[in-house]
Amino acid sequence: MKKIIAVSFLFYSFLLWYGVSFLSFSIVDVRSIDHFPVLNYILNFSFFLFGKNDFALRVPEIIVGFCSVLLFYKLTEFYLKKEKDRFFATIIFMLIPGMIISSIIVNKSVYLIFLTLLFVYLYKTNKIYSYILLALCVFLDSGFISLFFALIFYAIYKKDNVLLLLSLLFLAINANYFNYDIGGKPKGHFLDLFGTYFLIFSPFVFIYFLFSIYKGFFDKKRDIVFFIAFFTFIISILLSFRQRIKIDDYAPFTLVYVIYMVKYFLSSYRVRLPQFRGTYKTVFIVLITTLTFFDIALFLNRYTPARKLSSSYYFIKPLASELKNKNIDFINSKNKRLLRALNFYGLKKGNKYMIIYEKRENKVSIFHKKRKIMQINVSKLNTL
């Protein structure tokens, strides 16, 4: 345990340094707060403790991510006997791109991951506490509806009448409280969804995730972790044929399945004689290598073709500095989220200057009395 604490602490210290040094409070962060209002209370408490700055902005997600890794490690004790296997599984979980991303940006995913891990751990150690946690989650976010849905099938499978009754009740309350709606004409966002899962797991790890899900379907010893991951994943796939879904409502519940992925891989590897393990060694090298390169790309994406997808995380802070250097302290914009992001860095709302962000062209235009006085290519704004 001490070893995983030390490694996790160093890794999350690096993530905190990276987030504070290079990331900006972005339009996407503002959107996340709007969709998950609890973040407002968490951030305000952090601002109260540390002041309104980038450190206070990033530290809550870092702490929850760190705690999630430790909780995941504790959960592996129910599935993996050897200490080195549990350590290996936890490192893989920590390096999953989706886990890294959710730990350094302002979003609800890392909280859903933590609560899912906590629920599973409590369910295995103290079911009463796990039911209390589920009850609290009912009013926390609409994303938990997929968890309740998965638990219904698990309860039927295990003939757990108490869990079945509670899951049905919580699902109904959650759907009604958040006015959950499944609508829209069939548009086929299936490929977009798969592409997002590729980003969350990394391509080859996601392929192995699919293989492990398939293998788990025929595993007679499958438990609650399989049901949570399988059904939330299937629900997201089915809904994607009809509408564009919010991936952070589903993906957090699938990450816990890393336990099964490692378990299946190690069992398949060790059941074979040493001379027949070559293929598995190759698969392992490919998976770890691609996962590592994918993680490195996350931190270097400012210089990759993916920069337009993530530019919002980089240009707000330097843009605010650029405007202040030109004595522009009061601005207005039709993009209210952009305005709130810039306000975080000290730019106040005023009618003297109007700012327009053209996302497709990655440009910001500043107008004074309806006359354009400046245009900034935000892709050239650099915090490194």
Whether residue 318 contacts residue 26, with contact meaning beta carbons closer than 8 Å, is answered with: no
Q: Is pLDDT at 342 greater than 80 in this prediction?
A: yes
Average pLDDT over residues 46-53: 93
- Indicate whether 290 and 375 sit together in one domain: no
Lowest mean pLDDT of 86-90, 104-108, 246-250, 266-270, name the range. 266-270
Average pLDDT over residues 258-265: 91
Please tell me the predicted confidence (pLDDT) of residue 367.
86
- Indicate whether 247 and 332 sit together in one domain: no
Select the highest-mean-pLDDT range: 6-10, 119-123, 139-143, 186-190. 119-123
Please tell me the predicted confidence (pLDDT) of residue 239.
85
Last residue of a domain, one of 281, 303, 325: 303
Please tell me the predicted confidence (pLDDT) of residue 133.
95
- Indicate whether 295 and 376 sit together in one domain: no
pLDDT grade for 302, boundaries at 50, 70 and 90:
low
Average pLDDT over residues 269-288: 79
Average pLDDT over residues 243-264: 89
Q: Is pLDDT at 280 greater than 80 in this prediction?
A: no
pLDDT grade for 182, boundaries at 50, 70 and 90:
low
Last residue of a domain, one of 303, 328, 346: 303
- Indicate whether 299 and 315 sit together in one domain: no
Please tell me the predicted confidence (pLDDT) of residue 305.
45
- Indicate whether 210 and 177 sit together in one domain: yes
Last residue of a domain, one of 287, 303, 319: 303
With tokens 């509806």, the residue in question is 145
Average pLDDT over residues 349-365: 81
Please tell me the predicted confidence (pLDDT) of residue 306.
45
- Indicate whether 142 and 207 sit together in one domain: yes
- Indicate whether 141 and 185 sit together in one domain: yes
Domain of 335 in residue numbering reads as 311-380
Please tell me the predicted confidence (pLDDT) of residue 309.
47
Q: Is pLDDT at 312 greater than 80 in this prediction?
A: no
- Indicate whether 119 and 258 sit together in one domain: yes
- Indicate whether 351 and 297 sit together in one domain: no
pLDDT grade for 188, boundaries at 50, 70 and 90:
low
Please tell me the predicted confidence (pLDDT) of residue 199.
87
Average pLDDT over residues 103-130: 94
Query: Residue 63, SS3?
Result: helix
Lowest mean pLDDT of 125-134, 175-184, 313-322, name the range. 175-184
Whether residue 231 contacts residue 238, with contact meaning beta carbons closer than 8 Å, is answered with: no
Q: Is pLDDT at 55 greater than 70 in this prediction?
A: yes
Q: Is pLDDT at 296 greater than 80 in this prediction?
A: yes
Computed from CA positions of residues 307, 309, 314, 315, in that sequence, does the dihedral angle turn out positive or negative? positive
Q: Is pLDDT at 171 greater than 50 in this prediction?
A: yes
Please tell me the predicted confidence (pLDDT) of residue 368.
81
- Give residue-wise pLDDT tens across range 56-76: 999 999 999 999 999 999 999
Please tell me the predicted confidence (pLDDT) of residue 206.
92
Task: State how far the Cα of 68 lies from the Cα of 73, in Å rounded to an integer.
Answer: 9
Average pLDDT over residues 250-276: 86
Residues 6+ apart with CB under 8 A from 334: 356
Task: State how far the Cα of 281 lies from the Cα of 269, in Å rounded to an integer.
Answer: 8
Task: State how far the Cα of 72 lies from the Cα of 84, in Å rounded to an integer.
Answer: 14
Average pLDDT of the chain is 86
* Own/partner pairs, 88-93, CB within 8 angstroms, 24+ separation: 88/262, 89/258, 89/259, 89/262, 89/263, 90/4, 90/8, 91/4, 91/7, 92/258, 92/261, 92/262, 92/291, 93/69, 93/255, 93/258, 93/259
Average pLDDT over residues 299-320: 68
The domain total for the chain is 2
Number of residues assigned to the chain: 384
Residues 6+ apart with CB under 8 A from 181: none
- Indicate whether 67 and 109 sit together in one domain: yes
- Indicate whether 176 and 325 sit together in one domain: no
Q: Is pLDDT at 360 greater than 80 in this prediction?
A: no
Q: Is pLDDT at 350 greater than 90 in this prediction?
A: no
pLDDT grade for 384, boundaries at 50, 70 and 90:
very low
Average pLDDT over residues 100-129: 94
- Indicate whether 295 and 326 sit together in one domain: no
Q: Is pLDDT at 215 greater than 50 in this prediction?
A: yes
